[in-house]
Structure 1
């Protein structure tokens, strides 16, 4: 239904406004694929509850549900009832009812914009809308307005926006939460988590995606995009005059692809054609557990979906919009800073370290600094280059590090052999190697495809941290970044390593392999590191003798073969 309006006990909208279909009532084989149960995740604190909050109103972007059903069945007629193919409709209704149970949706509205007609047929769209209306689920639909603009019109009404579309993350502000669906799980985003994930505010998400998504030749790296957005002014102004940007590479990209980027930005931003929809929240009740709907599902052959009709009673927790305490990361630059850190480290039994350098080879890389974490949520970065210090010679920081690691403190690290070799090359010897999270992860999860710090942080801590490639462009180094950025990057790695060490020690004990790890695996850090630095003593005379003997035997064997031929 395009442009029309039909509902129960609702006032009529102007004909140009989107159609709002409120709840109404109308009078075997399945289940077609189980789908995958999505698991909610969020880096915020979680609030347990046994009943959904009756004040929550969910806006459900229908585009992803229509697209998923179209892609799942590809038009195949797998469920035909009374000569009518119900396959596509079954896929959409199944996913919507599952989502209702999963999130505890008691009030909500299903939104269908012009994108729906791009992912499936008009007939499928109309059939879905009509069925949802029969079930008693409210629908806002307009085939000439995009979902983004419809969301703007409904923003003051709803508390949660459920979508498969990343660009709608821009609505995660002013107390709203965006529930982003993907193939494996659900991510609940608030303003704080958007900043943590994208390093930009929700309002800047359209510009960020315009710069970083699209054909490879026309996009910037995430780091470059953030550098552009950190400059004051609109993106269009910066594209028109990129001279305000320090990087020549970024300026050239903006000059070459400015028109493409601006077109993407227009597509990802509200058009201004955003209708203000005045809907009574009481008309959004999802009260569908009744005999009429049980009959309706049965008549369409959707027998297994009847169990999804009851009102949700126990639902997964929804994260509260509480602000987490920011980590305390410090750069050490003065003599007073050094003395304070030395006193703090004297009382610590262990610390996690991460070295920052110019390359991957510890035998040739230049040491830039060392980050150290002794407590969760806290870390500090000690530069070793005088350009990053204030009134302190580089030799002074090296002496502090040398004395620290020569003492009894247990040193943790991730791929600690790299740090061990790099520091030893610079005259700093780690005496007490306490834990290597990479080696522990290998002993615990040896069949895993990845053991890098980013993977383990996400898997074991639920944290997303940046890799070197995310902060440094190809062909560049950390020295080209502002020092505060280096401090945060380095300290975060050290602090995450400290947290992982605690979890992996428990995992080793649980698997009853901690003794093996301590006696066989961990000692190899020092053994291999020393071999790399000192080399391995060889008896050259003995090697020459063995070589000559082998050459002689090979020569005689060759002559014997020739003689027989």
Structure 2
């Protein structure tokens, strides 16, 4: 959402993560090319001359990739005058001599010359999904290229490599090169015995371009003995139980991923900030009048605090207060239980006392209030005679302004911005037919949940405010979105009055029309059937009446959707036309005419949106 390209970074991290999880390496390094010319450019001026420069969008992501590798604890190696392939080749051969099994992650044709009994290639992230787990050993290289690994450079010497602008020999492609290398041991052997090449044209071309062939082989040959100022032990990564290198700086990695909005990787890599383990939370339950008055005095002396109401319903019009939580500073919060109702519940402060004490604070416009979906809290509190004022921040709205496509619930935002896993509401009230309401849950459990909500909301405010400023969205948030909270709250609480009697008469009228249309459909179909069954309708239209068929559904049958029926109706077929009319009236009746009266709030006699 920042407008900064991250696709290459995302793909690279995905690949690294897959390597760590699947291969579980003892040693690992990532090699990069450098901008400096290599020895190959000296040997051949045209080397890679036709290759376009790295696109700006991709080049801009490389520093971030290196930063991520550094934070992950994976060594980076690059050397002036050499390509990444040379670095990889040298390290691979060093490891092989120490009897270490090597996996090279690449799709570069040149690299297949390195394959040996102890060196394999896996093209993680470079191939189609079905191929990326494929491992190339000696047999697989022979199957793919038609020659074994030790003849890959001979093959490239003959056929060239367009991607690197290696010329090869004109008119010799993969098939001819393979046939030549089946008969001869190497490119040198071919050129030494060129008169034994049966095809006269190929024989003459080889003679003419012998030097170019040898140069091409040299350009394609990976340097496996370059001087590297390190030893294999420098690349030991010592994987932890999380399958991350022991030197992984989780705090730094979390920070980078949060900046890039890569919350997926924070979760996938099970990253935990060290500060989360150190910080002690101070969540308190207010059960006495003296504790309440002490809290009120604290609230009077702050400029802002986070607020959260707990109720027994998600419908703010019907909801009753169960408790209120406030957070004045991070990792600290207070919960005031008001109406918990279960066997053995301790004494709670009287509702009238709590309201009388907290009302002046909540109505003071000079003390700023922060919330998550503040509109809900505003509506609930209004039922108790409290007009919430001084609303300065709503994390849910801020999330929408920052990224409309992201999730805006507190659990998702806590994970995205704070890498913090909140207590799921299901842990308290359950779900499905066994779900209970919050007033039936023990005060201690609700207190921890509610205090956490207020605490997280306060912590998110500072981070999200910075994001709004960074993206230039402060004016949109402060001048448009925040003022709308009270406007929408008023509209929703006022609700809409509907004429139930008129809707009932309309429903009866539509019923009669549907009966008439049903009879007409049966007549045109020549039989009775379930009009609402797409399968039965399809058989009538396409199997029995042989109407022109359109697109197929996922199950293989022909579609009877609105668009297909409309096409048939437009072509002059009466039955599809009547069915379209039937469906329109049926939807109008079920979705609006009959459904609207069911949504009327029994307390207000009106329909309220949310």
Give the alignment's TM-score, normalised by structure 1: 0.43
Structure possessing the higher relative contact order (Cα contacts under 8 Å, 6 or more residues apart) = 1
TM-score by length of 2: 0.40
